[in-house]
Amino acid sequence: MLKNIARVLDKRTPILMIIPAVLCITFIHIYPSLDAIRMSFFDISLLRPGSPFIGFGNYIEALSDVIVRRILLNTLFWSLASLVFGCSFALFVANRLNRPFRGRTVFRTLYLAPWVTPPIVVAMIWSQVMSRDFSPISGLLQSMGIIEHSLNFLGDVTLYFGFLSVPMLSLILINIWGMFPFCMVMFLAALQTIPTDIYEAAQVDGASKMQQFWRITLPMLLPVIQTTILLQGIWQFNSFNLSYLITLGGPLNTTELMSVRVYTEAFSHFRYGYGAAISVIMLCVVIVPATFYVLRNARSERAGLN
C-alpha cells in the first residue's frame, strides 16, 4: 500500500509542485486580464449607477480621441528610443567591463546602482536635477556662459515634429539611465560565455577589433539581444513610474504614456470600462512583437531539429 502511494506521489510530484505557481498566475495575471477585457465592453463608472453593455463603444472613443492617439505615439517613441539608445549603451559598457582592468569589480557594482534604486527616489533626485530653478545642469551651463537663462527641462511645451518635446527627451534620458544596467548584465553574462580561442584565432588572421565585434561578438550575442529587447520592449511600453512620478504626464500630455492614461481614467475619472479598453489596446500592441518572437523561435527550433 505504502509503495503504491509512494509510486503515485513520485509520478504526480511535478504536477503538485507547479500547482501553487499556476494558481498564482491564474488569479494574479490571467483572471484580471480576462476581467479587464470583459469590462472594456461595458460603460462602467462609479459616478452613476448601472453598467450598460456598449460593445466596442469604449474602443471607438479611445481610438477616435486625438489625445489618446498622441499618447500612443508618445508611448511608441518612448519605447523605441529607450530600447535603441539604452541597449546600445548597455552593449558598449558590457563590452568594456568584459575586459580586465584595475577596479573592474567596483565599476560593475556601481553601474548597477540605477537599476536597484527605488523609482520614487529616482523621481525625487531627477526632479531636482532637471528643475527650472535649482538645476545644477543649468547652473553649470550658465557659469560656463553657454546659456543665459535656466533651461526648462520638464516644463517646455514646445513641440517638434508634432509630438516630440524637451520634457519627453528628458524623461527618456532618465529612463535610459535606469534601464541600461539590466541590459548590461544580460550582455555581460553572454560575453563571458564566448570562448577566447575564437578571438585569438581572429587576431592571428589579422582581424581588427571592430571586425571581431561585428563578425564574432555581435552574432554570438544575437539570441540574448533579441530576448533582452523583447523583455525591455514590453516593460517600456507598460512603463508608468517616471511619467507619473516626475511630470504626472504633463505638461499638456507631452510626457503622458498609455499606462498613465489608464490609471487616470480608472482611478481619477472613475471610468473603469474606458480605462480597461485602453489597457486592452496596450495588450494588443504588445502581443504583436511577442507573437513574432515566439513564432520565429519555433521555426528556428524546427529547422534545427530537421
pLDDT score, position 14: 77
Tens of pLDDT, residue by residue over 192-238, are 888 888 888 888 888 888 888 888 888 888 888 988 888 898 889 99
pLDDT score, position 209: 82
164 bridge partner residues: 160
Residues in the chain: 306
Residue stretches of the chain with pLDDT short of 70: 1-3, 5-6, 8-9, 303-306
User: Is residue 39 domain-resident?
Assistant: no
What is the DSSP secondary-structure string of 19-50?
A: HHHHHHHIIIIIHHHHHHHHHTTB--BTTSS-
User: Is residue 2 domain-resident?
Assistant: no
User: Is residue 188 domain-resident?
Assistant: yes
- Would you give the distance in Å from CA 231 to the centre of its chain? 7
CATH number at residue 162: 1.10.3720.10
Residue-number span of the structural domain to which 67 is assigned: 52-305
Asked if 167 and 155 count as a contact pair (C-beta separation under 8 A), the reply is yes
User: Is residue 30 domain-resident?
Assistant: no
Write out the three cell numbers for 111.
Answer: 553601474
User: Is residue 178 domain-resident?
Assistant: yes
pLDDT score, position 1: 61
Asked if 178 and 115 count as a contact pair (C-beta separation under 8 A), the reply is yes
pLDDT score, position 253: 86
Distance CA 197, CA 191 (A): 13
Distance CA 18, CA 25 (A): 11
First to last CA, the chain: 46
Distance CA 17, CA 9 (A): 11
Sign of the alpha-carbon dihedral angle for 258, 151, 127, 110: positive
User: Is residue 74 domain-resident?
Assistant: yes
User: Is residue 8 domain-resident?
Assistant: no
Tens of pLDDT, residue by residue over 136-170, are 887 887 888 777 777 788 888 888 877 788 899 99
CA–CA distances in Å: residue 102 to residues 58, 105, 246: 59, 8, 37
Contacts of 141 (CB under 8 A, 6+ apart): 147, 151
pLDDT score, position 290: 81
pLDDT score, position 114: 87
Asked if 169 and 156 count as a contact pair (C-beta separation under 8 A), the reply is no
Number of domains in the chain: 1
Distance CA 242, CA 2 (A): 58
- Would you give the distance in Å from CA 261 to the centre of its chain? 17
User: Is residue 31 domain-resident?
Assistant: no
pLDDT score, position 6: 67
231-241 b/e (C-beta count within 10 Å ≥ 16 → b)? ebbbebbbbeb
Other beta carbons within 10 Å of 43: 18
45 bridge partner residues: 271
Distance CA 261, CA 269 (A): 10
